[in-house]
Amino acid sequence: MNKNSTIYVAGHGGLAGSAVVRALRCRGYDNIVWRTHTQLDLTDQAAVERFFSDEKPGYVFLAAAKVGGIHANNAYPAEFIRDNLAIQTNVIHSAWKNGVSKLLFLGSSCIYPKLAPQPMSEHCLLTGPLEPTNEWYAVAKIAGIKMCQAYRRQYGFDAISLMPTNLYGPGDNFNLENSHVMPALIRKFHEAKLGGAKEVIMWGTGTPRREFLHVDDLGAAAVFLMEKYTGEEFINVGVGSDVAIRDLAEAIKVAVGYSGKITQDLSKPDGTPRKLMDVSRLAALGWKPSITLEAGIRMTYQWFLENVGQMRD
């Protein structure tokens, strides 16, 4: 990419997409185009084709997706597979058809088997059953990887894929019904602190281990890979270490300043026992994250405090 390249960030308003925009601007890329969902429905094939035909972007970051936590994936499986397949199919095909120089597809670590060996290397893909609570989303993301590879093989389209681990940070979804574990816990502890509650209820046993990557590190990695990497193999993006959910809750409790106790709701599902990424391939390319979990939690809580008044339930 050169600094004058027209760059389309699909999903610019989301957690990952907004971080990509920030990273691009930090690197001096200012010719960035985007559309809100109201302006462009990415599940509408004809509308996506018109957009690419009119704008002719040189580079595309495909960060748009329908996302959610365990509850949302369980409640809306048809929407998760339908919408994500439509979004990525329309964008990838129209990008190739309209002469985009390079496309980066953002996947998810949920593509890996539920009981994949830890840490999970890129070679673990399609080696076992998926986690049932999010298999619909995972199948769609696997299809996105394979579509990028297929378009590279058949058409020579420079489409690359990266698989981020669990993301958090500014712009996250803090809705308690459909958010991921980090923002859900931040909001729970915050509201418990304000309300003087004696306890915060945590879903499940707290024993599953998760890896967390600050979204601004993800944005930096995405721009780095767009500049430096071209290849059919997808790349894991993570920190290479994980934490038990119980310990994550304790760290958030400290950051928020809550003094009550944590209790467990054992009727709620845990999800995958462990999800740790093998990031050796990315490290070999010369990139590593810069934001520690403790610092990231503090930064995210501060962003939450500054924006809680504008959030919708």
Exposed e or buried b per residue across 258-280, where buried means at least 16 C-beta atoms within 10 angstroms of its C-beta: beeebebeeeeeebbebbbbbbe
pTM of the model: 0.92
Active site residues: 137
* Residue 210 is labelled as binding a ligand: yes
* Residue 188 is labelled as binding a ligand: yes
- Give residues with Cβ within 8 angstroms of 182, minimum separation 6: 166, 168, 172, 212, 248, 252, 297, 300
Residues 63-100 pLDDT 10s: 999 987 777 788 899 999 999 999 999 999 999 999 99
Residues 255-298 pLDDT 10s: 999 999 999 999 988 877 888 999 999 999 999 999 999 999 99
Could you please state the CATH topology (level 3) that the domain comprising 7-171+211-241+275-292 is classified under: Rossmann fold (3.40.50)
Break the chain into its structural domains and give their ranges: 7-171+211-241+275-292
Sign of CA dihedral 290, 296, 300, 301: negative
The Cα 307–Cα 102 span in angstroms is 35
* Residue 107 is labelled as binding a ligand: yes
- Average of pLDDT values for 52-58? 98
The Cα 32–Cα 60 span in angstroms is 10
* Residue 165 is labelled as binding a ligand: yes
Cβ atoms of 74 and 32 within 8 Å: the answer is no
* Residue 213 is labelled as binding a ligand: no
